[in-house]
Amino acid sequence: MVRIAVFASGSGTNAENIINYFEDHPSIKVVCVFTNNKNAGVIERADRLKILYRVFSKKELFSSDFENILKQEADYLILAGFLLKIPTEIIHSFPNKIINIHPALLPKYGGKGMYGKHVHETVVANKEKESGITIHYVNENYDEGAIVFQESVPLTDQDTPNDVAAKIHTLEQKNFPKVIEDIILKEQ
């Protein structure tokens, strides 16, 4: 059984979608949710779905103990709205096994500080004709890992940042679990 740990900092809609997708999967299982935010909505979702969750500090993230826990508990780390940078040591312990989703078509609108509404506001301010999602492997730099999957959605001049967010959310919900599954099954 391939074990997935999901990392999230916020409400956890993508985490919940991933948990539900793999609930009865014959060879992939979400074993834990990790969050750096003790008030994150993902905690309630994990609790309701009966998935173990752990709250940790930024300091703990950078400890060797944390890395050892991850190596014992998970085969893949999935970042679903996780806002901290993953330490280099963990990246090296999970080569091509840390997968992130970004709410834009990288390389545009990536990097430190470019997440959630900040991305959508910038996309609208720049009068982009499309936006989308990028699923990529995590490396040492924000949003610069090898791209695995992208899908775009057209935008109109009337779209607000909230409209863009809704379109992106639909793409995330539709694609993220399936792409994770494809990556894992291809490796087996």
| CB-count burial class (<10 Å; 0-12, 13-18, 19+) for 73 | middle
Q: How far apart are CA 3 and CA 77, in angstroms?
A: 9
Does residue 118 carry a catalytic annotation?
A: no
Count of residues making up the chain: 188
With CA atoms as reference, report the closest residue to 83 among 113, 108, 54. 113
Q: How far apart are CA 14 and CA 6, in angstroms?
A: 9
From 102, 118, 136, 169, the catalytic residue: 102
- The type of residue at 18 is I
| CB-count burial class (<10 Å; 0-12, 13-18, 19+) for 154 | exposed
In degrees, rounded to 5, the angle at the alpha carbon of residue 91 between the alpha carbons of residues 86 and 93 is: 130
Counting DSSP H helices and E strands in the chain, the numbers are 7, 7
- Active site members: 102
